[in-house]
Amino acid sequence: MLSCARGSPEREIARCSEEAPGVEDDEGVQGQRAQLRRPRGWLPWGDVRRARGAPEGRCCDQAKKLTTGRHAEALAIKRRDRIKHERRAERYVPTVAGQALLERALGMQAEVAAAQRALRAFQDQAAGVVRVSAPEWVVARALVPVVAALAQRHPGVRTELVSEAARANLPAGEADIAIRARRFELPGTWQRVVGRVEFALYASRNYVRRYGRCLQPGAAGHRLICMDDGDGPIADVEWLNKVAGEASVVAKANGREVMSQLALEGCGIACLPRLIGDGQPRLVCLEGLGEAPPRRLWLGVHRDQRAVPRIRRVSTAIAERLVELLPLKRVT
């Protein structure tokens, strides 16, 4: 017999357990107690979380995605009012009430993620993994020496460099630190300018011997290697389209390092950061079309993660290196 204070939760659980019929073992008692603690209209978060990712579509398609179709139907059965999805001709379609539930679930998930980040921030983690996302030319030309130095000074910190053209989602945890040539727009991101990237037109020596070094307005008869701007407008790409509109585009790439290799092979003219072009003796800087517009380089960290010791050390070292390589003078 349990001895509990009158009115306490333990006493109520004990009383209900004694009155519950068919409870004979400890496992049954615990299951009965769990059921009694659940408030009226209780929703299982596991089903909500999985059903949240079930878009409208065929059941067989949803079954391939963590059995979301099964969880959507299970949630509807448990609620007895088809609150999440209703099945129509082998398709799950969100109801009006289900759509409202999904919006609430998204907010709950965001709050849980924020709580997890806050917890990690308060932990004294001078060691661990730091994931850094940056364009491939920044990784190759600027970050490699930083990582090598960090490995010597802080052997407990493991830096993971991710070279990618797409922008990493910091709030979603896709990276701890991100470097981009444009401002971060997602909320909760702390950011600062860490460099000024200057651009120029480059071509191989063989190309210059054949077509000349001085370009005429419009660049008629020349061949261009362009940056893929599918991720949004790029200042130097728009400038090049204006000043060399009569030239033909023979290749596109989503990275400056690839563009530099194409230029070295004599494929055409590439607009490259001076950090790349001036460091390659086999490339020649072209003249005649004026100066390409510079771009700012931004470093971003989620606000909840900024105080984590290992992330602070890596971000500080990266910022110092980039400011040294790409001075911030004349940034407007």
Buried/exposed 88-122: b ≥16 CB within 10 Å, e otherwise:
eeeebebeeebeebbeebeeeeeeeeeeebeeebe
87 and 226 share one domain: no
Q: Is the pLDDT assigned to residue 292 strictly greater than 90? A: yes
10, β-bridge pairs:
none
**Domain enclosing residue 154, as ranges:** 123-196+296-325
Assign residue 203 the CATH number of its domain: 3.40.190.10
Instruction: Decide if pLDDT at 25 tops 80.
Output: no
User: What is the average pLDDT across 87-114?
Assistant: 69
* Residue 311 backbone zone (phi > 0: left; psi -120 to 50: alpha; other: beta): alpha
Task: List, in order, residues 6 or more apart from 67 with CB less than 8 Å away.
Answer: 50
The verdict on 159 and 17 lying in the same domain is: no
Q: Say whether both 244 and 288 belong to one domain.
A: yes
Residue 6 CA: distances (Å) to CA of 11, 20, 39, 298: 7, 19, 21, 61
For the chain, how many structural domains are there in total?
4
CB atoms within 10 A of CB 135: 22
188 lies in the same domain as 211: no
- Would you state the structure tokens that stand for residue 118, as one six-digit string? 């806050």
- Is residue 283 in some structural domain? yes
Residues 20, 103 share a domain: no
DSSP 8-state symbol, 187: T
Q: Please give the average per-residue pLDDT across 110-121, as a whole number.
A: 72
Q: Is residue 330 assigned to a domain?
A: no
On whether residue 94 sits in a domain, the answer given is yes
- Reduced to 3 DSSP states, what percent helix, strand and coil does the chain have, rounded to the nearest 5? 45, 20, 35
| Residues 156 and 103 both lie in one domain | no
Residues 317 and 181 both lie in one domain: yes
In this structure, the answer to whether residues 151 and 228 fall within a common structural domain is no
> Is 233 part of any domain?
yes
Per-residue pLDDT at 122: 54
The Cα 47–Cα 50 span in angstroms is: 5
For residue 261, tell me if it sits in a domain.
yes
CATH number, domain containing residue 47: 1.10.10
Query: In this structure, is residue 267 part of a structural domain?
Result: yes
| 331 within domain boundaries | no
User: Are 147 and 12 in the same domain?
Assistant: no
Share of the chain above pLDDT 70, in %: 67
What pLDDT, on the 0 to 100 scale, is given for residue 200? Answer: 96
Decide if 234 is inside a domain.
yes
pLDDT score, position 102: 73
Q: 141 and 264 share a domain?
A: no
